[in-house]
Amino acid sequence: MPLAIVPDDSSRSRPPTQAPLTNTKYEVEFVAVGRAFASERRRHGAPVSGHLVVRDISLSIAPGEVVAILGASGCGKSTLLRIAAGLDSPSAGVVRIDGSPVAGVDARCAVAFQEPRLLPWRTLAGNVGLGLPRESRRQDAALRVAELLDLVELTAFANHRPREVSGGMAQRTSLARALARNPGVLLLDEPFGSLDALTRLKMQDLLLDVHAAAPTTVLLVTHDVDEALQLADRVVLLGTEPGREGATIREVLGVPGQRPRDRGSAELAELRATLLAGLGIDRHTH
Ligand SMILES: Nc1ncnc2c1ncn2[C@@H]1O[C@H](COP(=O)(O)OP(=O)(O)OP(=O)(O)O)[C@@H](O)[C@H]1O
Ligand SMILES: [Mg+2]
């Protein structure tokens, strides 16, 4: 029987599949990672000394762990994520995934950005399908796409185009596309940054559901302290020391409690105050 992706929101049961949603989760290790960017100004063809963005970043992320990176704008969060994905190379140190160094764009990772970056002429199902490995068989691919759309609660909109859905739905499509090839590491760069506050909270809950169904390793960059506390096992605070160039890890904080966490708990309030202070934000302004 040919398989078609039909809008059917009434059926929430997942189709039987050969493979679980994801069974891959890799350790990610940053070992003494640094990144300097050469200045664009050149004197007589020779580069002027580089601008050091991050330095001495060493961090080990366990398979299946969710780690959030917090830090001021421009401190190098996206740079670290891009290095982990193999979209950029470190000037010093190395990133290892599952024990082997990242060299070039790494197929073990999937990345989702602040903007969904969907192809406007493709349906949501077609966009999710773009994340599948090229060698996927047609029938397997249709099943996988249906399963992922179900996971992000978009089955009824499979045949819609991106312009016909909301920003949150587009972002859910982007998340499904990132999960399509069963990544061992999911890299999220402010994935909910462009959404309104309510949609953002819903997306955070959805990400927790997704992680429960597909417990891959997640590295999440965010500006939002509460988002980090809600989603992460550990929060890494990046920052610079006064008078020194290059952001380093200032603090790594474990977040207590099972997810979903009580946003109003006293324990989280204390961590929130610590993180806000670390970001240089006076608690009276909040
Ligand atoms: N390709 C590049 N060439 C030169 N400089 C770069 C390049 N990419 C990033 N930078 C510089 O590195 C610094 C860190 O950038 P990055 O995008 O990692 O910051 P960020 O912490 O993600 O900031 P934001 O929170 O605003 O997204 C910035 O000063 C930026 O200008
Ligand atoms: Mg960034």
pLDDT digits (tens, 9 = 90+) for 192-243: 988 889 988 988 998 998 898 889 999 999 989 999 999 999 999 999 998 8
- Is the pLDDT reported for residue 128 higher than 90? yes
Ligand 1 atom with minimal separation from the 40 CA:
4
What region, left, alpha or beta, does residue 3 occupy, with left being phi > 0 and alpha being psi -120 to 50 degrees?
Answer: beta
Q: 186 CA to middle of ligand 1, Å?
A: 20
Contact 90, 35 (CB under 8 A): yes
- Chain centroid to Cα 217, Å, comes to 10
**Among protein residues, the one whose CA lies closest to atom 6 of ligand 1:** 37
Q: What's this model's pTM, rounded to 2 decimal places? A: 0.88
**Among protein residues, the one whose CA lies closest to atom 5 of ligand 1:** 37
Which pLDDT does position 23 carry in this prediction? 66
Three-class DSSP category at 152? coil
Average pLDDT, the chain: 87
- 173 CB-near residues (< 8 Å, 6+ apart): 116, 118, 124, 127, 128, 152, 154, 162, 165
CA distance 128 to 131: 6
Q: Which residues of 226-247 are buried (b: 16+ CB within 10 A; e: fewer)?
A: ebbbbbbbbbbbbbbeeeeebb
